[in-house]
């Protein structure tokens, strides 16, 4: 209803306040402009605007540069073209179907040279490592400290780990078969992507090193290189060793500059993904602060899933527009019932048409004797939880019962039509998923999640 408070609707609809949303859009545009390659007409222009902060006749680029304190030279560059259409990878990739299959494959791996790589986000820092084995003997190891997670992500750290592993191979005398194993499927799958994307320069370096290896070993027709997935934290000796090394790298340990790949020697630019993530986290914190000052805050603080109502968003997935609208109106108290309509001067009195008590949301759901039969039939399915507002609005089963009860009463059918949850009956409670924006956790990329996907 139009009387519903805007801040409550924004939280329930998962929409930021408009000024924060505009900041998010402007920041995204600023990042895109700062990442443009040298061939783009705006490449020089944004740098001129950064160094010439004029007072009069400011362009939008001046405003963006000033508002977000841009330093384009410290931000990664995204090139529109990365590989030729005829490019063929000089390595193969393999992802096992299951965790156990990946461990079994590693146990029977007969490659003479095996490299294990990993990236880690630890205590707010990112690090990468690679360990080279010949047979069962560990020969070489490289570490690289990327910096704080506010500048680089663990997904990048995983990619840097692969680059370190290939760098070890370029400096070794290789037999016929070599493998590189890591515990992040997303990085492996990203080696197949050649379109422009954030952090692509790590994968360009991986392909460049692989081509260098292929040229070095071109006299050996039987030479092969495979990048494979291995389940993380599953007891594999090589993977456990490189995991410890990656945490040490996140703690600040780096190998000698001359031992590192050339593109890592002078440090890495800030990742657009990390910068967006940090900025979005600030916006979310500001939104949360505003919500905590709202007069409506205490009303919804009784729910377990307080801001940003992630549990509510999970519970209401799959609802039709009418079902969702009804749920929001009942939850906010701004529903077309006589108590509220009388306050808006739409009806003459606030009383229930059946029992002459004030018709509130609670009265409709719990108190009106006219609906005792419908209430008994439906609420018996959830037992004592039927008396809990949190259970009715905060669980999938409770919401299904509530919608069916409202449909049975027919009280709001004239406005909403049929809201019976026939489309939800087979979709009961499941654990809520993580926030899809991922802005509460700066550890992007998983850093060892065996099921990580891009």
CA dist 99 to 159, 233, 287, 384, 445, Å? 21, 10, 40, 42, 18
| Domains of the chain, first to last | 6-77+276-289 (no CATH), 92-268 (3.30.420.10), 302-416 (no CATH)
| 295 pLDDT above the threshold of 80 | yes
**Omega within 30 of 0 (cis) for the link into 308:** yes
| 58 pLDDT above the threshold of 70 | yes
Residue 171 DSSP label? T
In terms of Cβ atoms closer than 10 Å to its own Cβ (0-12, 13-18, 19+), residue 164 is buried
Decide which of 187 and 424 is more confident. 187
Residue 5, pLDDT score: 87
Residue 427, pLDDT score: 59
Average pLDDT over residues 211-224: 78
What tens digit of pLDDT does each residue of 134-180 get? 877 888 899 999 999 999 999 999 999 999 999 998 887 666 688 89
- Count CB atoms within 10 A of the CB of residue 67: 12
What tens digit of pLDDT does each residue of 92-135 get? 899 988 888 888 888 888 788 889 999 999 999 999 999 998 87
| 445 pLDDT above the threshold of 80 | no
Ranges of beta strands (E only) in 171-233 are 177-182, 224-229
pLDDT category at 300 given cuts 50, 70, 90 is confident
Residue 451, pLDDT score: 42
pLDDT category at 28 given cuts 50, 70, 90 is very high
Residue 430, pLDDT score: 53
pLDDT category at 428 given cuts 50, 70, 90 is low
Residue 175, pLDDT score: 63
Decide which of 426 and 268 is more confident. 268
Q: What is the dihedral of CA 422, 424, 429, 430, to 10 degrees?
A: 150
Ranges of beta strands (E only) in 201-241 are 224-229
Residue 13, pLDDT score: 87
Cα separation, 202 vs 197, in Å, equals 11
pLDDT category at 438 given cuts 50, 70, 90 is very low
Residue 60, pLDDT score: 93
Weakest mean pLDDT among 304-313, 340-349, 391-400: 304-313
How many percent of the chain have pLDDT more than 90?
52
Decide which of 360 and 2 is more confident. 360
pLDDT category at 453 given cuts 50, 70, 90 is very low
Give the CA angle between residues 158, 161, 163 to the nearest 5°: 120
| 392 pLDDT above the threshold of 50 | yes
Residue 66, pLDDT score: 92
Decide which of 442 and 94 is more confident. 94
Residue 53, pLDDT score: 86
Residue 80, pLDDT score: 85
Residue 139, pLDDT score: 85
Cα separation, 26 vs 20, in Å, equals 10
Which tokens sit at 349? 């009195």
**40: CB partners within 8 A, 6+ apart:** none
pLDDT category at 215 given cuts 50, 70, 90 is confident
Cα separation, 104 vs 94, in Å, equals 13
Residue 132, pLDDT score: 92
Average pLDDT over residues 219-236: 81
What tens digit of pLDDT does each residue of 66-94 get? 999 999 999 999 988 777 878 888 888 99
User: pLDDT averaged over the chain?
Assistant: 86
Residue 409, pLDDT score: 92
Q: In what order do the strands lie in the sheet with 92-94?
A: 92-94, 224-229, 177-182, 113-122, 125-134, 137-148
Residue 426, pLDDT score: 61
Residue 452, pLDDT score: 43
What tens digit of pLDDT does each residue of 184-209 get? 999 999 988 888 888 899 999 999 99
Q: What is the dihedral of CA 81, 84, 88, 93, to 10 degrees?
A: 0
Residue 110, pLDDT score: 79
Question: What DSSP letter does each residue of 5-50 carry, written as one string?
Answer: -HHHHHHHHT---HHHHHHHHHHHHHHHHHT--TTSHHHHHHHHHH
């Amino acid at each position: 209803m139009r009387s519903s408070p805007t801040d409550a609707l924004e939280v329930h609809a998962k929409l930021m306040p408009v000024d924060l949303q505009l900041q998010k859009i402007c920041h995204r545009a600023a990042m895109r402009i700062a990442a443009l390659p040298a061939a783009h007409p705006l490449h020089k222009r944004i740098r001129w605007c950064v160094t010439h902060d004029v007072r009069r006749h400011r362009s939008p680029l001046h405003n963006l540069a000033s508002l977000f304190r841009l330093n384009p030279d410290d931000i990664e560059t995204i090139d529109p073209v990365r590989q030729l259409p005829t490019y063929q990878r000089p390595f193969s990739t393999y992802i096992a179907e299951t965790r156990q299959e990946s461990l079994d494959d590693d146990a029977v791996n007969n490659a003479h040279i095996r490299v294990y790589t990993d990236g880690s986000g630890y205590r707010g820092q990112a690090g990468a490592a690679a360990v080279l084995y010949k047979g069962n003997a560990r020969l070489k190891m490289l570490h690289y400290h990327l910096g704080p997670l506010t500048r680089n992500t663990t997904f990048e750290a995983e990619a840097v780990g692969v680059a370190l592993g290939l760098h070890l191979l370029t400096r070794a005398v290789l037999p016929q078969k070599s493998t590189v194993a890591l515990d992040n499927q997303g990085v492996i799958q990203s080696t197949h992507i050649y379109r422009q994307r954030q952090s692509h320069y790590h994968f360009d370096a991986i392909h460049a090193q692989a081509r260098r290896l292929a040229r070095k070993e071109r006299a050996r027709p039987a030479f092969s290189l495979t990048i494979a997935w291995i389940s993380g934290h599953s007891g594999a000796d090589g993977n456990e060793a490189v995991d410890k090394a990656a945490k040490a790298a996140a703690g600040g340990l780096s190998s000698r500059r001359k031992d590192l790949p050339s593109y890592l020697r002078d440090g890495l630019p800030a990742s657009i993904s990390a910068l967006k993530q940090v900025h979005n986290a600030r916006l979310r914190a500001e939104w949360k602060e505003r919500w905590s000052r709202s007069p409506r805050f205490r009303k919804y603080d009784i729910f377990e899933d307080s801001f940003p109502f992630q549990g509510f968003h999970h519970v209401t997935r799959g609802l039709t527009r009418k079902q969702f609208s009804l749920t929001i109106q009942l939850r906010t108290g701004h529903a077309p019932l006589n108590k509220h309509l009388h306050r808006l001067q739409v009806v003459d009195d606030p009383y229930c048409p059946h029992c002459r008590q004030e018709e509130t949301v609670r009265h409709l759901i719990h108190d009106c004797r006219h609906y005792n039969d419908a209430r008994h039939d439906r609420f018996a399915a959830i037992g004592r939880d039927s008396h809990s507002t949190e259970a009715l609005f905060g669980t999938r089963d409770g919401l299904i019962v509530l919608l069916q009860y409202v449909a049975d009463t027919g009280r709001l059918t004239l406005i909403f039509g049929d809201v019976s949850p026939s489309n939800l009956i087979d979709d009961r409670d499941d654990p809520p998923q993580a926030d899809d924006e991922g802005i509460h956790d700066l550890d992007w990329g998983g850093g060892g999640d065996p099921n990580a996907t891009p």
